Chain A
Amino acid sequence: MNGKKSFGGGGGRGKSSGNQQNKDGQRRPMFRRRKVCKFCSDKIDDINYKDVRMLMPFVPERAKVLPRRISGTCALHQRKLRTAIMRARQLALIPYTTE
């Protein structure tokens, strides 16, 4: 555990030195949180159309499927998610669209 932390700290120092160079007139690079596939990290193998509570975060207010570039879902799970959402829509568990 100790080893890990020191590694993380080293990474941080490296970045800060890069930043000071940027202070001379240049824009700071944007830092984003690395996106991780929710289904991979939580080890959910089975994306089921019956589990509406699990699907809802991927169906934002206009009831479209949340794109991969935003949710960070991996290709395999996005594909499974899509079929699950389409099935749930057929059964009126999830709307196709909202007015």
Chain B
Amino acid sequence: MSRKYELVYVVSPEASDEQVADLHTQVEAIVQRIGGHIEKTDNWGRRKLAYEIGRHKEGTYVLEAIDGGGELMKEIDRRLKVTDLVIRHLIVRVDEEQGVVDRTRANRTESSRRRRVARGLPPDRQPGEGQRGEVDDDREDRFDMGEELR
């Protein structure tokens, strides 16, 4: 049973670039040992923290998109907890929410296409069309505007 997870960890600002890369290879090693794979790695670089963690005010953020099972994530969680260099980490399961998002998006385009066809228009929006209509709608929402002008 394969699931998709996102792992974000914040590395202490004292860590060198090699140490950050080393952490990544450690995570990769665990993922490969238990049988999953890393889909994407994204290093956000050094950012200011919104609040102090310990005595740190900055941190290096790394995002990994991992395809694997729950046991794998449990092991990664355990390892990151005992790694002193990682000051914070978060594991989120994303596949279910992503599925919901894709489905609503598909439904929306599908229903808008159906409505457009019913109105005798081509199913896809033409360039330069539509934007004006939306602005008009917004003004119609402002039912208070007439009062202010008077």
Q: Report A's interface with B, CB cutoff 8 A.
A: 1, 4-5, 8, 11-12, 15-16, 19, 31-34, 36, 43, 45-46, 49-50, 87, 89-96
The docked-state distance in angstroms from the alpha carbon of A15 to that of B145 is 11
Closest chain A CB from B97 CB (angstroms): 8
Closest chain B CB from A13 CB (angstroms): 8
The answer to whether residues A92 and B105 also contact, given A16-B150, A33-B144, A34-B141 and a CB cut-off of 8 A, is: no
The answer to whether residues A33 and B10 also contact, given A43-B108, A92-B53, A95-B51 and a CB cut-off of 8 A, is: no
Q: Is the CB of B140 within 8 A of A8?
A: yes
Closest Cβ neighbor of B103 among chain A residues: A45
The residue that A95 contacts in the complex, of B50, B92, B140, with Cβ under 8 A, is B50
- Count of interface residues, chain B, beta-carbon cutoff 8 Å: 31
Q: Is the CB of B51 within 8 A of A92?
A: yes
The docked-state distance in angstroms from the alpha carbon of A94 to that of B139 is 34
Q: Is the CB of B8 within 8 A of A45?
A: no
Q: Is the CB of A92 within 8 A of B88?
A: yes
The secondary-structure label for the interface of chain A is: loop
Q: Is the CB of B101 within 8 A of A46?
A: yes
Additional A-B contact list (6), CB under 8 Å, known A8-B143, A32-B144? A4-B140, A11-B146, A46-B97, A46-B98, A90-B88, A90-B90
Interface residues in B121-150 (C-beta closer than 8 Å to A): 133, 136, 139-144, 146-147, 150
The answer to whether residues A45 and B50 also contact, given A90-B88, A92-B88 and a CB cut-off of 8 A, is: no
